[in-house]
Structure 1
Amino acid sequence: TTRTTAMQRYLRGHTIDKWADNFMRSLELPIAKPNLRITRNMGSKQIVELRADYREARKRLILLDYDGTLQPIVQNPEDARPNRRTINILAELSKDERNHVVVISGRGRQDLIGWLGNLPITLVAEHGGFIRLQGHTKWKRTSQDNLHWEQKVRKILEYYTELTPGSFIEQKEWSLAWHYRDASPYYAQKHLVLLKKLLRPIARTEKLEIRENKKVLELHHLDISKGHITQEWLLSDEDFILAIGDDNTDEDMFNALPTYAYTTKVGWGSTTAHYRVKNVTAVHDLLRKL
């Protein structure tokens, strides 16, 4: 057959001597380096380097996620009020005129104002949907989304909330979130798969992002992200940047920052951050050592 003839021709032209010659030549070729970013633990040596850069800097940008970074993740989103230690750390950092401290959170504006509104820091709500600059009282909207998609998405979420005891819907100004932390893991995962399958066509049509975080499925417009809002500050002349976060939304922020930034992942899981710390306590300890 044609296939057999082609195979015989190949074997005649590829003797053991020729194979050995090609193999030895291949050993002389340079090895391609994978394009991987190595994430190192933020140990004592790294902290010394970070502190040295921090103290030499003329202008610093400090970007901090809230839930899972400044405060532990809790079962009920309403129970995440900052403790005195968190408030004191932010207050101490913001005293230094060289520091621009930004809390960049998925929380709504009312939560951030109620908890952190008296501090001289910049607040970013709903993953970048709203921003209140340091020293200002008014919030700036960053999206032009008209939210006409909201009702059709809500109906789907409500249906699966009824089927998943322990789950609930969180309504935000720019997004809808489905929480399933307290639901049965079996039914939560089963219905999560079905939910995503139903929501993907709507997301494509309406230009939405379906974002999975820790036991939360959230939908919002594509023009809202921590990566987009981070661009607000990259035109200024900060010579020190520290960014800390624990979930997928923070990866957008890490990727938007220049390579010299101290991007830091909280907890385990894949990340593009340069460094990693264990938990919220480690974040507090790091910030207090600056």
Structure 2
Amino acid sequence: MDFDGTMAPLVSRAEDARPLPAAAAAFAALAVLEGTTAALVSGRALASLRAVASPPEQALLVGSHGAEVWLGPDSPALALSPDQQAALHRAQDSVQAAVAANHGTAAEHKPAGVVLHYRQAAPEAAAAAVERVLDELAKDPEMFITEGKMVLEVSVVNANKGESLAMLRDATGATALVFVGDDVTDEHGFAALQARDLGIKVGPGDTTAQFRIDAPAQVPAVLELLLATRR
């Protein structure tokens, strides 16, 4: 499961997001079901994901689009090379300068990147901030830039949700995957699904997912149906 815009409705401030109670309950029940693995696959840093999602202890967690992974107590911590550390500092400086110059924008720092948020900015300020960061970083070979819903993310680790789902499939020995997401970054996940898998897009927009629901409010029914079927 993606989190923001899927398990939880989108909100103006990322720290205010919380999962819909019925979605959280069904997800937690799936996490303890025999023969079933539940995972959150999010663009958030792991620390942020844990803070807002309060996931069950049995759930697997993928943060920063795959740059951070928690598969249990023995999961290795993220380690950046000196070149990646230097690139991270350049990315942080660029985004911080754009935020300082454009009211309503904000920076979110992650272990392997930095995110420019502009949901609360006027259109002119948002466009100016995005343009400034792209002008400074888009041609830097150490940067991997992704655009999402009112965010521009710069990472020094090349990771995406498609690679994350493939990793989870291998790690768990899953015979089929169900993946639900709402953003353009989730399209990497949908593209990685195989014939026995199921992809569900939440909300509008082009997608390669087989099915679509209208909003996060419909996610609990999807998870409850999956739970009943697995039981």
| TM-score when normalising by structure 1 | 0.70
Give 1:274's match in structure 2, choosing from 203, 210, 229.
Answer: 210
The range that moved more, 77-86 or 265-274, is 77-86
- The Cα RMSD (Å) is 2.0
Match of 2:97 in 1: 159
In 2: Cα distance, 1:266 partner to 1:143 partner:
33
In 2: Cα distance, 1:118 partner to 1:282 partner:
21
Match of 1:128 in 2: 66
> Any residues of structure 2 matched to 1:122-271 within 5 Å, and which?
122-133=60-71, 136-141=72-77, 144-145=80-81, 146-202=84-140, 205-206=141-142, 208-235=143-170, 237-271=173-207
Q: Secondary structure at the match of 2:90?
A: helix
Q: Which runs of 5+ in 1 are unaligned?
A: 1-63
Identity over aligned residues, as a percent? 28
In 2: Cα distance, 1:237 partner to 1:155 partner:
41
CA contact (8 A) 2:61 2:69 kept: yes
> Any residues of structure 2 matched to 1:71-86 within 5 Å, and which?
71-86=8-23
In 2: Cα distance, 1:182 partner to 1:243 partner:
29
CA 1:254/1:84 → structure 2, altered by over 3 Å: closer, same or farther? same
CA contact (8 A) 1:105 1:126 kept: yes
Q: How many residues align?
A: 222
Match of 2:30 in 1: 93
CA 1:143/1:254 → structure 2, altered by over 3 Å: closer, same or farther? farther
1:193 CA displacement: 2.7
Larger Rg: 1
CA contact (8 A) 1:143 1:224 kept: no
In 2: Cα distance, 1:152 partner to 1:123 partner:
28
1:142 CA displacement: 6.1
Q: Which runs of 5+ in 2 are unaligned?
A: 227-231
CA 1:167/1:65 → structure 2, altered by over 3 Å: closer, same or farther? same
In 1: Cα distance, 2:153 partner to 2:159 partner:
12
In 1: Cα distance, 2:114 partner to 2:36 partner:
33
Cα deviations by residue, 1:165-218 (Å, 9 ceiling, x for unpaired) = 01011111111000011110122123323432322112xx21x21111111100
Match of 1:285 in 2: 221
1:69 CA displacement: 0.5
Match of 2:5 in 1: 68
The range that moved more, 83-92 or 110-119, is 110-119
1:83 CA displacement: 4.2
CA contact (8 A) 2:200 2:212 kept: yes
| TM-score when normalising by structure 2 | 0.87
CA contact (8 A) 2:99 2:129 kept: no
